[in-house]
Structures are given as structure tokens and as C-alpha cells.
A and B are shown apart, each in its own frame.
Chain A
Amino acid sequence: MPFIPHTEKDTREMLEAIGADSIEELFDEIPKELRIEHLYGVPEALSEMQITRLMRERAHQDGSPQCYIGAGAYEHHIPAAVWDIATRGEFYSAYTPYQAEASQGTLQTIYEYQTMITALTGLDVSNASLYDGASGLAEAALMAVRANRRVKTGLVLLAPGVNPVYEKVAHAITGGQGLTFEWLPQDATTGNVAFDQLPEGKNPVAVVMQQPSFPGTLEDVDRLTDWAHAEGAFAIGIANPVSLALMKAPGQWGEQGADIACGEGQPLGVPLSSGGPYYGYMTCKQKHVRQMPGRIVGRTTDLDGNPGFALTLQAREQHIRRTKATSNICTNQGLMVTASTIYMSLLGVDGIAHVARRSHANTARLVDGLCEIDGIERLYDGPYFHEVALKFDRPVAPVLDAVADRNIIGGYDLTDHAGTDALLICATETKTEADIDACIGAFKGAMGK
């Protein structure tokens, strides 16, 4: 019996203390007709050695191809110390810090995380994290509806550069509360918002913009933030946190700054791991803190007057407010936040800035090389951070297949999204010049050059 410590003697003595003849008797309140005999569909147990072998085989089958996809999840080097410490049992196997005195490790870590992520995003307060970037947008939209009380339309306008999956997720999560999402018009040349075609009189509750955008362009977020505020809407900014070591923070956009920032925390020390677990960060201006969803940690004092940390503003949350809570969210992504906090501490702002610069330079090398190939050119003009959309003169899927034959995942097929044969590529700091040149060579081969 894996992980069950009971000896036969233990079981006997325990049943005696209970006054039951058998363990079976303990289930006598369950109606007999509902009981099942066996879980036939579950295989027999494997030992740790056997499951290790099985998982290694399956991992080996998936291999470690060179990957040039970003599209919302980014490969970065993660220092060994990050997960060594995050998976210490004291972090890994603790739960929500409801007993603050016995959870100061987790609580202080979250407080430090809140400090770091507000610094990066240029806003006043942060929660302890949400599930991921996409669901974070849903929560940000709901929060805007609560905080921007004058506007009753429930209409959220999205810049064309917002990750299309984020829209889908936000729609699925908030649809029950009557929120609607509409896309702002796109300028075909830049891929960004077409400022000369912005709608008038729609009375949106919030305008969402993403920097860098999903197809990698840089949006004029200053102007769009100001427009949102002029329309009486909240500005919600989505930003890649690694880019924020260099780039203007959401809190600095436009005259007044974004009201809420949210996004995917994964680039800060969380492995790609097929899509999760990641975490969504969320920060906002001080005045909206009581509309924030999720857990928040505050510093306070104990009976001796010494500083310590505790969950605070819990009156917003489901376990207290039930129907009237700001969200149904219960967990944060504690373990990921722990890892991320260690990552940010190890790299510091200069280290993250170096990661950002190296990623930018690597992507530039890849883009320049690929655009020398006949039939490949940039889809949109203008500057970029570490991801770029390319236009192809032929269907992208077969090209990617041929590139994959060289154990290279050549990018994300953007054709459906862009409405033309297109590819989205990203080369982070993990790639060497030789890697990038090999990737360019693979594309040359696949394109018959």
C-alpha cells in the first residue's frame, strides 16, 4: 500500500477503539446499491522504479527540439537555485497561509513578490497572483466593471494586439455576467490600433492593450491609454514582465498610467511545461485595491509589536463574502510565485534587462536571416521586442513540417490569426548564434533555397 503506514496491528487496534469489526463497516452509511466493487479501469500499481522508467521513456519520445515559439509562453534559462528552493518541502507541501504564525515563509515571500511586481509594472498594489495570464484578463475585466462604476455597458474594447486566446478565455469566464468584448480596428501596415478609425460614443468600461502585442509589434500605448481615459474607460495593460526591465511600465503609460496591469508571469522563472502551471500577475492603482480579486498579503505587527505578515482584506474573498465576493478564486499559484520571486532576486533588474536585450538581439538576428530568404518578409513594419510576425509566399504548415524534420520547431503558425500565410517567431537568450544560423539554414532548405 503505497504511502499508507498502517501495520496490521495498527489497523486492528484502531478498529477496536472505534468499535468496528472491519474497515468495510465504516462505509455502512453509503447506500449499498451505490457501491462499486473495483476500479477496473485503473491499472495495477507501479513501483517508483517502474514509473520512473516509463516516464523517462515518454519524455525521451518527446525529445528536446530547438523551439522558436513564443506566442504567450517563453523559454528562458532558469537558475538551478530557483526550483531547488521552491520545491523544498516547506514551500512545496504547505498550504494557504491561513495560520499566519506558522506560514511566515510563504507570507514574506508573497510580500516580496508583491513589491517586485509592482516595481516592474509601475503600479501601487499587487495581489498574490491569479491562475495564468489569460484568466487574469477575465479577472481584470470584471474588476474594471466593479471599480469603474459610472459605466454600465459591460463593454470591453480590445486592441488588435491582445492575445486572441486571452479574449476567448475572458469571454468564457465572464460571459455569465454579461460582459462583451469587441476588437478595435487594426492598421494593416503596423498591425497596431488604427487610431484614425477608433469608434466614438461606445462608452466602454475598459480598453485592453498588450505590449508587446501578440504578433510582436509595439503599440502606441501612451496614446491608447489617454484615449481610453478620455472615453471614461479604464485602461488595462497586458505586458510581458521580462520586457518591463527595459520598457515603459503600464503604470507609466499615457498621462495617468494604466489603471490595472495583468499578464503572464511564466517568463520569470517558470518552466514551459506544456502550458502550466504558470501564474497571472495583477497590479492596480491604490484606490482600486478593494476591488482586487484574489489573496493579498500585508505587513502588520504581532502582540510584541514586532513586524510580521498576514493575509489581509479577506472580506473581499469567497470564504467570507460568499455570493458577494470579488471573485470565486480561492487558490493563487503560490509555488510559481515562490519560484518567480527567487528568480527575480537572483537576476535583479540588470539581469532581467540583460535577458531582455539578449532576447531582442537574438530575435533580430533570426528575423534578418529569415527575411533574406525569397518568399519571407515581415508582416508588419515597426519596432519589436523579442517576437516578430513574418509573411510567407506559400502555406506555412508544410514549411514548418520540413523544418521540424531537423528537430527544430520553427515558430507558431499565425495563418489563421493573420488571415494570410504567416509565422510568429521568437528567439530568447537561450539560443546561440549557431542555433539561430541553423534555424535559418533549415528554413532555407525547407523553402528550396
Chain B
Amino acid sequence: MSELIFEKSRSGRRAFAQAPTADDDLGIPKQFLREDRPGLPEASELQVVRHYTRLSQKNFSIDTQFYPLGSCTMKYNPRACNSLALLPEFAGRHPLGPVRFGQGFMKCMHELQQMLKEVTGMVKVSLTPMAGAQGELAGVAMIKAYHDSRGDTERTEIIVPDAAHGTNPATANMCGCVVKEIPTLSDGDVDIEALKGVLGPKTAGIMLTNPSTLGVFERHIKDIADMVHEAGGLLYYDGANLNAILGKVRPGDMDFDVIHMNLHKTFSTPHGGGGPGSGAVGVNKRLLPFIPVPVVKETEVDGETVYDWATEDDFPQTIGRLSGFMGNAGVLLRAYVYMRMVGRDGMEKVAEYATLNANYLMARLRDAGFELAFPNRRASHEFIITLKHEAKDYHLTAMDVAKALLDHNYHAPTTYFPLLVPECLLIEPTETESKETLDNFVAAMIDIVTQAKEQGVQFKEAPYKMPVRRLDDVKAARELDLRYAPE
């Protein structure tokens, strides 16, 4: 570990260029003021710059390593998206500023709404949810509001496949719904018979990811949609894997009623070390009245187009507001720039080459002896290998391979998710990686397994080349140390 910034702190040291002059006279009575001095670091500008630059160098990132983290779509984040979203006028615009000083920004947002409608096949898009999980919350809340508005208040059950992201059941629970989990068949498709068994008068809806978290396209989606709709339920599309089908097939055409998109995945906005995300939602006609606000609307004033906010006045049945203002505007600008740069043809290529890369990597790993979780299926933009034999025969677990890969300078794939495949790695290469990178990754995978098989090498203590060795998670949870406390 590097020294903490607090340990570099010296009383009286300052980055003097950064502090404005201040009056001594403070018109605030003493009862409101604090007597202590909160312990922030006292450092020079160079010390701070050096400290955080060095810390950054301890991260793996897309810009520095192949990052095949399944389900996260770690593709290249174009630099122009960032620099244009941070143009001073955009960065400095106050969210409550009058629309006369925001027409340029709002035009971008309106066009973004239109493009997202087009790529998803929905009727209307709201950009306000600030992350995928918040988009899910908006979606389930809309489904509930729809049933409630029809006096159908007994519909409280949300159906979720066992392979779903954890956010699906957690969201349903947050919306006051009861979760009904259904199993997956061995070919990766949803168990239709099990679905029939749980559908009924209490069904509010189903949450599905398609392609699913198992990396395969749900082939019976039309039948599922018909069954759920016939039972009076609605369909929620989790857009985590939208990258795989961009320009090929649209959730709206699959009969989904509401969807969320992860703009930080499909539309390449930064993952930022864990956020910000952005979880725009799209709805069909049925759910339109309940859409979260605000939404950008196009109006005409004296023959000219003027962009304005559609609010509770325009959508009196809205589920309401999810953020203090309009959501993660700066992320939305980055997504807008990305979509305009990729354009219509490019967007179709995204899904094509993401799928090509995944199927190529899957074929290469299969040929190298790795076991596929779904050997008879096409990969979507990601796929799963299981290391259950390697774990049993050579004590080489998914965790060991993940850590060993770090020493080969690759970020690990997603491990132990989905939960129903033992010792699994969920691998998503994305379309922006070259064939050479994929080939080198295969070589690293072969090297790790060969060492385990032929030389009996154990990777229980890997990684060796990282800034730290394998960390003690149990100690972290038992002896909580969540902030620096000077001796």
C-alpha cells in the first residue's frame, strides 16, 4: 500500500493557489459553528498530484489492460466523449438554469431520447435514472403503478430467472414485490413449464435479460411474452446485454413493456472505478403515463423549435422523480457523442463484432480444452466456461485462474456468476479488442492450466506481481478499518 495522503500531511502546508481570500468577519452565530478542526490532509499541490497519479497506476483499466469482465461491457471509452461533455459551457451549466440558456444541451438530450427509442423499439425514453439498478427500480415501479391504476392491486409477484443479476430480485423487493424465482434449462433457456407454474392472478411481471446472463439468446422469448401478457403480467427488459443485439433485434419488437439501458455499457460511457452509471428507461404505450420525469420535450414557440422540460404537469400519473435534477446529464452527453460518432451503420457493427469476438474466443478456448457451460449454443457477446474439472482434478478454481490472469496482465473475467454454473468464468471481450489481444489471452489461459496440470503449480497465493498479494477478506469484515485514525 502507498502511504496515505494523511500521512503526507504537515500542519500548515497548503496548495495556496487553490484557496480564495476570505474575510475574517463571519456573520454566523457561534451556536452554529464547529469548534474542532476536521482532519483533512494538508499538502502541497505537487504532493496531491503525485499521490493520486501514483494511486491511479495501481489500477487495471480498459486503457491499460484487456478487461473481459462478463456482463460489464468493458469496451473502449472514446476520449472525445469525455472532452466534449466537459466543454466549459456544458460543465458549467446549472441544472435549474432557464431553458433559454440550455437549448444546445437540451437538443442533445432530445436527440439522445430519440436515438434510444429507435435502437430499443420503445415509444418513449426517460433519461433520469442514474444507474442500471435505478432504471430497474423505475421499471418495476411503473409496472406496479400500471396495475394499481387499473385497480389490479393484488398483482405483487415479480418473476425472475435464477440466472438473473442480483439487482433484479433486490429491486423487486425494494418495490414491495414478492420474488418468484424460476429455473433455467440445461440449454440455457428459461424453463417454460416452470414459468407456467408461477404465472397467475398475482403476477405483476417478469424481469428478463436477453441475451441472458448465461450468454445465450432466449429463443422462446415470443412465447414467454405471450404467456406473461395472457396472464395479465408485464415484461421488463434488463438492458445489461443490449450490446449483443444492437441493430439486430429490439426489446420493443420482442414485446417488452419496459426496459432499462446501461449507457455505461452499450454506449461506452466511463465505468469510473464503479460509477457513474446511467440507466435510461424506455416504455411502450401501456406504461407511457407512468414514466419518470423530467423528460425533454420539443415545443414550438413563434414557429421556432424550443426544448423544454416535461414534468409532473405533462405526466400526472408519473412514478415521480428519481434524482435531484434530471439524472446524470454529463454521462448522457458522453453517450450522445458516442452514438453520433458510431452512427447507424457503426451501431450494427457493434453487435456484430462483439458477437464475433465472443464466439471466436469461445471457439479458441474450447479447442484448447476448456469446458463450455453451454457447448451447443452460440455465444452472444459473452460466454461461460466452467472449471469444475480443473478444480476437482488439479485444485485450480475459478478464483485461482482469475488471480493468475492478473499476473499475466489481464483483468479477470467475472467469477462465480451466474451462480448456477459451478466454478465459472463469464467472459465478455467486447468489439473493441483486436484478434491479437484475444489470441494472447488464450495463450495465457493455456499457460495457467498447463502449469497446474503438468507441473502441479498451485495458484492459491497468486497474484505475485500486483501492488499487493491476495487480500484477507475475512479480516477486512471482522476487524473493520474503514477510515484512517492517526495514532
**Chain A 377-398 interface mask (CB, 8 Å, partner B; 1/0):** 0000001110000000000000
Q: Quick check: which of A12-20, A182-190, A435-443 contacts chain B, the rest being far away?
A: A12-20
B72 contacts the other chain (Cβ, under 8 Å)?
A: yes
B151 at the interface (CB under 8 A from A): no
**A390 CA to B465 CA, complexed, in Å:** 61
Contact A26/B356 with A67-B94, A218-B32, A248-B34 known, Cβ cut-off 8 Å: yes
The residue that A276 contacts in the complex, of B272, B329, B356, with Cβ under 8 A, is: B329
Is A199 at the interface (CB under 8 A from chain B)? no
Binding-face segment, A81-89, A201-209, A226-234: A81-89
Closest A-chain residue to B51, C-beta based?
Answer: A345
Stretch in contact with the other chain, from B14-22, B226-234, B386-394, B451-459: B14-22
> Whole-angstrom distance between the alpha carbons of A315 and B434 in the complex?
37
Q: Mark A38-75, 1 if CB is under 8 A from B, else 0.
A: 11111111111001101111111111110101011101
Cross-chain contact of B32 among A18, A102, A247, A275 (Cβ < 8 A): A247
Known: A42-B119, A90-B56, A352-B40. A64 touches B92 (CB 8 A): yes
Q: Which of A30, A120, A274 gathers most chain B CB within 10 Å?
A: A274
Cβ–Cβ contact B32 & A273, under 8 A: no
User: Is B15's CB under 8 angstroms from A79's CB?
Assistant: yes
Cα(A9)–Cα(B363), bound, Å? 18
Enumerate chain A residues within 8 angstroms of B197, measured Cβ to Cβ. none
B330 CB to closest chain A CB (Å) equals 4
Are A354 and B21 in contact, with the CB atoms below 8 A?
yes
Which residues from chain A contact B326 at a C-beta distance below 8 Å?
Answer: 274-276
B contact residues around A309 at 8 Å (CB): 1, 471
Q: What's the Cα separation between A105 and B468 when bound, in Å?
A: 11
Query: B435 and A10: CB pair below 8 A?
Result: yes
B59, A106: Cβ atoms closer than 8 Å:
yes
CA distance A62 to B469 in the complex (A): 50
When chains A and B are docked, how far (Å) is the Cα of A67 from the Cα of B377?
Answer: 57
Asked whether A60 lies within 8 Å of B89 as measured between CB atoms, the reply is yes
Known: A43-B340, A44-B343, A274-B329. A246 touches B28 (CB 8 A): yes
A-chain residues with CB within 8 Å of residue B172 when the two chains form the complex: 323
**Shortest beta-carbon distance, B176 to chain A, in Å?**
4
**B304 lies within 8 A of chain A by Cβ:** no
Q: Which residue, B43, B103, B104, B412, has most C-beta atoms of chain A within 10 A?
A: B104
Residue A371 lies at the interface, judged by CB distance under 8 Å to chain B: no
What's the nearest-Cβ distance from chain B to residue A296, in Å? 6
In angstroms, Cα B85 to Cα A104, docked, is 28
A97 near B45 with CB under 8 A, answer: no
Whether A72 and B324, one on each chain, are in contact in the complex, defined by CB atoms closer than 8 angstroms, is: yes
- What 0/1 readout, one digit per residue, does chain B (317-343) give for beta carbons within 8 Å of chain A? 001111111111111000001011111
Chain A residues closer than 8 Å to B117, beta-carbon distance: 41
Q: Which of A62, A279, A325 has most chain B Cβ within 10 Å? A: A62
Whether A61 pairs with B253 at a CB distance below 8 angstroms is no
- Given A6-B434, A109-B52, A331-B131, A302 and B471 contact (CB-CB distance below 8 Å): yes
From B250, B272, B339, B359, give the contact of A338 (CB < 8 A). B272
Whether the pair B69, A350 counts as a contact (CB closer than 8 A) is no
Q: Does B173 contact A (CB under 8 A)?
A: yes
Residues of chain A in range 307-361 having any CB-CB distance to chain B below 8 Å:
307-310, 312-313, 315, 317-325, 327-336, 338, 341-342, 344-355, 357-358, 360-361
Given contacts A30-B248, A39-B118, A246-B28, is CB(A93)–CB(B271) below 8 Å?
Answer: yes
The proximity string for A residues 213-255 relative to B, scoring 1 for CB distances below 8 Å and 0 otherwise, is 0000010001000000000000000000000111111001000
- A274 and B435 within 8 A (CB): no
Interface size class of A (residues with CB under 8 A): 35 or more
**Judging by beta carbons under 8 Å apart, are A5 and B433 in contact?**
yes
Would A331 and B103 be within 8 Å (CB), given that A351-B19, A353-B22, A357-B26 are in contact?
no
Complex: A273 Cα to B172 Cα, angstroms: 31
Q: A271-B330, A323-B169 are in contact. Are A36 and B253 (CB under 8 A)?
A: yes
Q: What string of 1s and 0s marks CB contacts (under 8 Å) between A400-438 and chain B?
A: 100010000100100000000000000001000000000
Q: Check A101–B59 contact: CB distance below 8 A.
A: no
Interface string of B26-42 (1 = CB under 8 A from A): 11110111101111111
CB <8 Å contact, A348 and B22? no
Which residues on the B side are within 8 Å of A271 (C-beta)?
A: 86, 91-92, 330
Contact residue among A5, A47, A62, A323 (Cβ-Cβ distance under 8 Å from B105): A62
A105-B58, A309-B1 given as contacts; is B360 within 8 A of A18 (CB)?
Answer: yes
CB pair B341–A57 under 8 Å, yes or no, is: no
Shortest Cβ gap from B184 to chain A (Å): 16
Give the complex CA separation of A440 and B312 in angstroms: 34
A65 & B55 in contact (Cβ 8 Å cutoff): no
- B305 on the A face (CB < 8 A): no
Nearest A residue to B364, CB-CB: A17
- Knowing A35-B249, A72-B324, A332-B274, the reply to whether A273 touches B31 (Cβ < 8 A) is no
Indicate if the CB atoms of B18 and A95 lie closer than 8 Å. no
Total interface residues on B, using CB and 8 Å? Answer: 203
Q: In the assembled complex, which residues on chain B have CB atoms less than 8 Å from the CB atom of A47? A: 341
Q: CA separation between A276 and B482, bound complex, in Å?
A: 27
List residues 262-283 of chain A with CB under 8 A from any CB of chain B: 264, 271-279
A100 at the interface (CB under 8 A from B): yes
B104:A318 contact, CB within 8 angstroms: no
- Complex: chain A residue closest to B82, CB-CB: A87
Q: Find the residue from A102, A298, A357 having the highest chain B CB count within 10 A.
A: A102
Q: Which residues of B contact A98 (CB under 8 A)?
A: 69, 414
| CB of A169 closer than 8 Å to a CB of B | yes
Given contacts A45-B341, A345-B40, contact A2 B94 (CB under 8 A): no
Residues in chain B near residue A373, CB distance under 8 A: none
B248 touches A334 (CB 8 A): no
The answer to whether A323 and B473 have CB atoms under 8 Å apart is no
- Give the residue name and chain of the A residue nearest to B74 (CB): A95
B247 contacts A38, C-beta separation under 8 Å? yes
> Is B245 interfacial (CB 8 A cutoff)?
yes
Q: Is the Cβ of B166 less than 8 Å from the Cβ of A383?
A: no
Determine which of B118, B324, B360, B471 lies in contact with A310 in the assembled complex, contact meaning CB atoms within 8 Å.
B471
Contact, CB under 8 Å: A318 / B166:
yes
Residues of B within 8 A of A171 (CB): 320
Q: Which of B28, B65, B118, B470: most chain A Cβ within 10 A? A: B28
Interchain CB contact (< 8 A) of B72 among A95, A175, A178: A95
- Point out the residues of chain B lying under 8 angstroms from A72, CB to CB: 324-325
Q: Which residues of B contact A14 (CB under 8 A)?
A: 356-357, 360, 435
B222 vs chain A, min Cβ distance (A)? 6
Compute how far the CA of A328 lies from the CA of B329 in the bound complex, rounded to whole angstroms: 22
- Interchain nearest-CB distance for A159 vs B (Å): 15
Distance in angstroms from A106 CB to nearest chain B CB is 4
What chain B residues lie within 8 Å of A129 (beta carbons)?
275
CB of A277 within 8 A of CB of B337, answer no
Known A4-B353, A4-B431; contact A116-B40, beta-carbon cutoff 8 A = yes
In the complex the two chains form, is B276's CB within 8 Å of A333's CB?
yes
Let me know if A300 is at the binding interface, CB within 8 A.
Answer: yes
In contact, B34 and A249 (Cβ under 8 angstroms) = yes
4 more contacts with CB within 8 A, not counting A38-B348, A118-B483, are: A31-B222, A175-B320, A302-B472, A304-B469
Give me 29 A-to-B residue pairs in the complex whose CB atoms sit less than 8 angstroms apart, sorted by A's number: A1-B345, A1-B353, A10-B434, A18-B359, A26-B359, A34-B254, A59-B89, A88-B53, A91-B59, A94-B61, A112-B6, A131-B276, A172-B141, A176-B174, A177-B176, A273-B93, A275-B326, A319-B165, A323-B172, A325-B166, A344-B41, A348-B14, A349-B40, A357-B23, A358-B20, A358-B23, A361-B25, A409-B97, A409-B101
- Give the top 6 A-B pairs by smallest Cβ distance, nearest first: A45-B343, A275-B325, A89-B63, A335-B272, A58-B104, A41-B118
